[in-house]
Amino acid sequence: MNAPDAFVALDTLIAQHADRLNDKVIAWRRDLHANPELGNREFRTGGLVAAHLRALGFDDVRDKVAYTGVVGVLKGAKPGPCVALRADMDGLPVTEETDVPFKSTVRTQWNGAEAGVMHACGHDTHVAILMGVAEILAGMREQIAGTVKFIFQPAEEMPPIGEEGGAKLMIEQGCMQNPPVDAVFGLHITSKLHTNRVGYRSGPLMASADQFRIFVRGEQTHGAQPWSGVDPIVVGSQIVLGLQTIVSRKMNLTEEPSVVTVGSFQAGNRSNIIPDEAKMEGTIRAFDEKHRSEIHEFIQKITTLIAESGGAKAKVHIAHGYPVTVNDPALTDWSVPVLERAAGAANVGICPKTCGAEDFSYYQKEVPGFFFFIGCTPPDQDCKYAPSNHSPRFYVDENGLKVGVRALTTLALEWLARPHNR
């Protein structure tokens, strides 16, 4: 049997398995959607996943990794490298506004306040898809040349304040070892694409995400005699304008885009009092780690010098968030034909960069990784007007889950079977 014939036979077999499991995958998704859990609190979800992997006869199943994460190891009948597949499990503190019969009514405490809980980013679909992939591959051990590691990760949407979590903690607790992972794949559902469409991009795909806080210290005085003090509101306003010059005048936008946004400015409590202090908070997005570092330096310098020029003092605190999500170019080039087989060539295309961030980026810092998008907006709806991920009205067309199952299954089997992996 020549290579094209082998591809056809494998694709047909995977498609048959995906068809057979589709109702099961949808049922899992609906159960998870009706019972969402927030970051580091995915006890029920993790328990369901671990029980499923153990029932499939996985060689090793570790639970409670990074609080609630699950890592399953499936060894093939033939020797070879190790490939990892990742799904994130957490919901968001969002009160659902859809009309589906499995709508979430869960409410809980999040960072000290009561909140609704919803799978508003589609992580319920990610878990269900990967559970389906696990069931298919568990029945195909004879065709697996190596090991498939299944990573079900908590807290992609950030853990509660004061806790660690997510991909970084999963890695620290050994999810990429025993056996060591050689490549990693992941997907994300999106309303920006129609059902069954697949979007990918080589190199930077999603931005880094950092937060900054600026404290400007002036000298309080009566609003009727501003010359008697130092106005932190005026100084802070000049800092806001100065920060806008970082992207427009300091960064080479022909290389990569970036964003610096001040989203909060707080100062004073009376119309006739110039306060002592002004506080600002904002976000930094970049698609290049060098640009990211440069933006941090410019924020420090611009803030400090403007404050000094106005007779004030300023402190800058920058909290590092997720790194840039960068798809390995060679792995991307290899993956695209596989995606075209799984979804149909006409349904696979390059997608724009997104300023959203993903902690899948931490896995990509360990080994070559490839992250892609699966559409979930019905074909008769304009994606421009579809409620976005994180919206309380976010809706998933479940007809597209099968494409995710086929894509991850085929990527894992084909990557392990590559001759140069030997």
pLDDT per residue as tens digits for the range 24-70 = 999 999 999 999 999 999 999 999 999 999 999 999 999 999 999 99
Largest CA distance in the chain: 89
The CB density around residue 374, as the number of other CB atoms within 10 Å, is 27
Which residues, 6 or more positions from 160, have their beta carbon under 8 angstroms from its beta carbon?
A: 38, 39, 40, 110, 111
pLDDT digits (tens, 9 = 90+) for 298-319: 999 999 999 999 999 999 999 9
Q: What is the DSSP string of 272-323?
A: TEE-SEEEEEEEEEESSHHHHHHHHHHHHHHHHHHHHHTT-EEEEEEE----
pLDDT at 1: 46
Share above pLDDT 90 across residues of the chain, in percent, rounded to a whole number: 97
Round the average pLDDT of the chain to a whole number and report it.
97
pLDDT digits (tens, 9 = 90+) for 223-246: 999 999 999 999 999 999 999 999
Cβ atoms of 272 and 223 closer than 8 Å? yes
Share above pLDDT 70 across residues of the chain, in percent, rounded to a whole number: 98
Catalytic positions are 322, 398
pLDDT digits (tens, 9 = 90+) for 182-210: 999 999 999 999 999 999 999 999 999 99
Q: Residue 74: beta bridge partners?
A: 148
pLDDT digits (tens, 9 = 90+) for 128-180: 999 999 999 999 999 999 999 999 999 999 999 999 999 999 999 999 999 99
- H or E stretch at 254: none
Q: Residue 379: beta bridge partners?
A: none
Ordered by where they begin, the domains of the chain are 3-206+324-421 (3.40.630.10), 208-319 (3.30.70.360)
pLDDT digits (tens, 9 = 90+) for 247-264: 999 999 999 999 999 999
